């Protein structure tokens, strides 16, 4: 197929595009060259690309940034979805659309609760989550009108190349800097709330889920992409420290503190229609993330990496 990937320079897209090309697809990736919230720019891109499938990854995906810049997040995440769905309906109404959402739209469950399933109520608690929930409602409405829109609720994922705006990558960067003698605060490692629980996947497992959902035999619906197991953020940090051999001073940073939350998903529905299941152990993912930050720190790279 000819596949249009928005957010083409982001974290997930940099893994997804080569994977699609290896599978024989023709991929056209757009990013800042096409403003997703500009209806005219999106229409021109759709006419030029004439896609048979669209994977909509373009987003501002940092919750912290969404509190600082709610207007910008609304523009990209919600108005971008509006523009995308309109041009698909006008220019390529037969195309399958993967509208990539987030587990953040569920909000937080009580500790030890049953993992979230797709029929659970949405309780978005941040500007980022609210824009994603609103975009999903648009996608559901488009599907009711007959468009082939698949909504994808991806739970937390990480891997080499991720921005340090996200917790596992932030830990890995700080550990790599401390190991290299370049820690900003000596041997101190700044942390937020370590008690929260996340369902954490490897980005390459998430990519495989997206590839599977492109199959036109998969019903138009909404699907969780999740490991189905929770891990405390404290355990993520301890695993990275064990891998690295670094023993820093752990320092709570008030700027990083968030209320304790619990988010674990059930991907049984996705498994039932595609056979997908996560295959990469968390320890392997964290080792790859740390090794990547070691290389980046050794090469003098800063933390400024696209978060999408």
pLDDT of residue 186: 66
pLDDT at residue 88 greater than cutoff 80: yes
Nearest C-alpha neighbor of 234 from the set 141, 164, 167: 167
User: With contact defined as beta carbons under 8 Å apart, do 161 and 304 qualify?
Assistant: no
pLDDT of residue 306: 41
Return all residues near 65 (Cβ < 8 A) that are at least 6 apart: 73, 128, 165, 307
What count of Cα atoms within 13 Å lies in the side-chain half-sphere of residue 200?
A: 23
Residues of the chain with pLDDT > 90, as a percent, come to: 91
**Mean pLDDT along residues 83-99:** 98
CA distances from 141 to 67, 88, 89, 223 (A): 27, 14, 12, 16
pLDDT of residue 300: 80
Residues of the chain with pLDDT > 70, as a percent, come to: 96
DSSP β-bridge partners for residue 224: 153
pLDDT at residue 256 greater than cutoff 60: yes
pLDDT of residue 303: 43
pLDDT at residue 74 greater than cutoff 80: yes
Question: What is the tens place of the pLDDT at every residue in 7-34?
Answer: 999 999 999 999 999 999 999 999 999 9
pLDDT of residue 301: 65
What are the chain's domains? 2-158+200-225 (3.40.50.720), 167-197+230-261+280-298 (3.90.25.10)
pLDDT at residue 222 greater than cutoff 90: yes
Question: What is the tens place of the pLDDT at every residue in 120-162?
Answer: 999 999 999 999 999 999 999 999 999 999 999 999 999 999 9
DSSP β-bridge partners for residue 250: 189
177: tokens are: 């800097």
Average confidence score pLDDT of the chain: 95
Question: What is the tens place of the pLDDT at every residue in 181-210?
Answer: 876 666 899 999 999 999 999 999 999 999
pLDDT at residue 178 greater than cutoff 70: yes
User: With contact defined as beta carbons under 8 Å apart, do 86 and 145 qualify?
Assistant: no
47: tokens are: 């006419």
pLDDT of residue 227: 98
pLDDT at residue 242 greater than cutoff 50: yes
């Amino acid at each position: 197929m000819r596949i249009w990937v928005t957010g083409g320079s982001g974290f997930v897209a940099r893994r997804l595009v080569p994977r699609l090309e290896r599978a024989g697809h023709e991929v056209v990736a757009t990013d800042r060259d096409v403003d997703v919230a500009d209806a005219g720019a999106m229409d021109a891109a759709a006419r030029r690309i004439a896609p048979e499938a669209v994977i909509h990854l373009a987003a501002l995906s940092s919750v912290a940034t969404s509190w600082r810049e709610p207007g910008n997040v609304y523009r990209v995440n919600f108005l971008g979805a509006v523009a995308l769905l309109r041009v698909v309906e006008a220019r390529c109404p037969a195309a399958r659309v993967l509208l990539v959402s987030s587990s953040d739209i569920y909000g937080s469950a009580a500790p030890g609760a049953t993992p979230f399933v797709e029929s659970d109520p949405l309780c978005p608690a941040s500007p980022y989550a609210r824009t994603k929930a609103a975009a999903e409602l648009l996608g559901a409405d488009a599907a009711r009108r007959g468009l082939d829109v698949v909504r994808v609720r991806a739970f937390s994922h990480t891997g080499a190349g991720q921005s340090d705006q996200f917790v596992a990558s932030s830990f890995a960067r700080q550990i790599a800097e401390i190991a290299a003698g370049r820690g900003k605060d000596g041997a101190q490692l700044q942390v937020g709330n370590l008690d929260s629980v996340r369902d954490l996947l490897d980005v390459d497992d998430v990519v495989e889920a997206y590839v599977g959902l492109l199959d036109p035999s998969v019903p138009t619906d909404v699907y969780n992409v999740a490991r189905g197991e929770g891990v405390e953020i404290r355990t993520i940090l301890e695993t990275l420290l064990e891998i690295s051999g670094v023993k820093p001073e752990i320092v709570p940073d008030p700027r990083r503190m968030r209320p304790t939350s619990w988010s674990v998903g059930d991907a049984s529905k996705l498994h039932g229609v595609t056979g997908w299941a996560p295959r990469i152990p968390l320890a392997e993912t964290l080792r790859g993330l740390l090794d990547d930050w070691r290389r980046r720190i050794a090469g003098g790279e800063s933390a400024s990496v696209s978060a999408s």
